[in-house]
Structure 1
Amino acid sequence: MGKNIADLKNGQQVAVIPYVACQQCPACKSGRTNCCEKISVIGVHQDGGFSEYLSVPVANILPADGIDPQAAALIEPFAISAHAVRRAAIAPGEQVLVVGAGPIGLGAAAIAKADGAQVVVADTSPARREHVATRLELPLLDPSAEDFDAQLRRSLVVRWRRK
């Protein structure tokens, strides 16, 4: 651990925000670090969490004391899921198709369902579809199936809403 870090202790469990902004470009200076011209993503542009050692700006560290380590590992993907659902402004009773049952898709499906949406999940992986069926109890579609269009029509009533 670096010097002058008062809020964290060696061995303390943390979660990492993997987006490291430059803090110098116009986007960063205006507080829009997600639009950073030189953004670096830990695990993509630099070594990630499977490294023996990792250098992370202290601003990108969230103490995760008392949180199950497996749950702490999902803080960042589920934050993306929550952000997507909030940005979509889904109203209770609306239909939602989530394409992809990876961590972000599962989070989006669970959050939209908790918000009262009618959620359908599509994924090509039989194992992921089985996981959704047993854990989230949601209708499933297989986008690789020849009758995917028919599956989609049976599962969702297409309605357009205007904002």
Structure 2
Amino acid sequence: MKAIEITKAGEMQLVEREMPQMAAGEILLKLKYVGFCGSDLSTYLGKNPLVQYPRIPGHEISAVIEKIGDAVPDSFTVGQSVTVVPYTNCGQCTSCKQKRFNACRYNQTLGVQRDGAMAEYITVPWQKVLKDEALSDVQLALVEPMTVGFHAVDNGKVTDLDTVMIFGCGMIGSGAIVRAKLRGATVVAVDIDDSKLAIAQQLGADYVINSKDQILHEELEKITNGDGPTVVIEAAGNPITYKSAIEEVAFAGRVVCIGYAGNEVAFPTKLWVQKEMEIMGSRNANPTDFEAVMKYLKQSSLDENVLISRTVEPEQAPQAMKDWSEAPGKILKILVKF
């Protein structure tokens, strides 16, 4: 079968791999679309410390059930359209015991610690397969990347009384914008790319700020009457936005961190203490986040194609990844169509 492999940093190619062998309790999936994630870009650039090469990337999945193994519930049938929860969980660590499976100490994500879904076929334990015939193949491929932003909003305990500022309007930030609006919050989207800010407005952002062209603090002062946003979600992974999140969040506010900054971040502990702010991480997503995104995609009037920058064939994937690596700020989502 065809598979897309990151052979080493800066090198991606189309390869032939053996068909996966299906074990008891597993389902064989035929891939329809797989999205490139920011973690795949980091792997391609040689900046992902969790990856060993060669690696098949991909964990944003749209597929159909090709074959069903033994010991799989009868509710799964051949031909069903599905997506996949791409994380493992051990069930025994402190996170799992609290049912926070997304933060499992021993998690292995498809395409990161183990080979992913950029191939014609994969096998998956039935417990990780989510079926929904009402969603299109493209929508199913957008579920997982949107769940990460949904989960961050959940961690931030966002309500309709909050003003939520979101740093970074990529795919994860887009999910956070959608979820915060569904919670009834006032949403401020911040980025340095006007095209992404235009999409943020289509997703429901009440205010957009280009922090390259506008003075962030002054704009927030006007929007919040000098109080600052009650919740800040950092989805840019930049030391500058990490520091701004601490500086701009309201007193007694919450800062939720999704992005990985490339360098260590120093900030004044005085603000942390004086504001009595909560600073928390947000990793992956839980099953309820998947349910919420799937419900949103079924009920929303949004044309999900606004979230997709390019759709390519497997043969075009290496060039698409090279293009993304050279202009990362211009790409929201690349889908590979199998």
Same fold, TM-score > 0.5, yes or no = yes
The residue type paired with residue 64 of structure 1 is: D
Contact 2:82/2:130 (<8 A) preserved = yes
Equivalent residues in 2 for 1:19-30 (5 A)? Answer: 19-23=87-91, 25-27=92-94, 30=97
* Larger RCO, structure (CA 8 Å, separation 6 or more): 2
Pair 59,27 (structure 1): closer, same or farther in 2 beyond 3 Å:
farther
Q: In the TM superposition, what are the counterparts of 1:114-129 in structure 2 within 5 Å?
A: 114-129=182-197
Question: 2: distance between equivalents of 1:32 and 1:110?
Answer: 22
Q: Which residue of 2 aligns with 1:86?
A: 154
- Find the counterpart in structure 1 of residue 136 from structure 2: 68
Q: Does 1:77 align with 2:145?
A: yes
Partner residue, 2:235: none
In the alignment, structure 1 segments of 5+ residues that lack a partner are none
Which deviates the most, 109-118 or 72-81?
Answer: 72-81
**Per the alignment, in what secondary structure is the counterpart of residue 122 of structure 2?**
coil
RMSD of the alignment, in Å? 2.7
- Decide whether aligned partners of structure 1 residues 35 and 13 sit closer, same or farther in structure 2, where only a CA change above 3 A counts: same
Contact 1:16-1:61 within 8 A present in 2 as well: yes
- TM-score normalised to the size of structure 1? 0.80
Asked if residue 50 in structure 1 is aligned to residue 118 in structure 2, the reply is yes
In structure 2, which of residues 80, 95, 109 is the aligned counterpart of residue 41 of structure 1? 109
Matches within 5 A, 1:121-160: 121-136=189-204, 138-145=206-213, 147-156=215-224, 157=226, 158=228, 159-160=250-251
Q: Distance in 1 between matches of 2:198 and 2:144?
A: 24
CA separation of 1:155 and 1:37: change in aligned 2, threshold 3 A: same
Deviation by residue 1:6-31 (Cα, 9 ceiling, x = unmatched): 432333211110111244x4347634
Alignment correspondent of 2:54 = none
How does the TM-score come out when normalised to structure 2?
0.42
Cα shift readout 1:114-139 (whole Å, capped 9, x = no counterpart): 32211100112222112123442531
Structure 1 residues 50 and 155, CA, compared in 2 at 3 Å: closer, same or farther?
Answer: farther
CA distance in 1, matches of 2:107, 2:142: 21
| Residues 136, 91 of structure 1: alpha-carbon distance in 2 compared, 3 angstrom cutoff | closer
Partner SS, residue 73 of structure 1: helix
Give 1:36 deviation, angstroms: 2.6
How many residues matched? 162
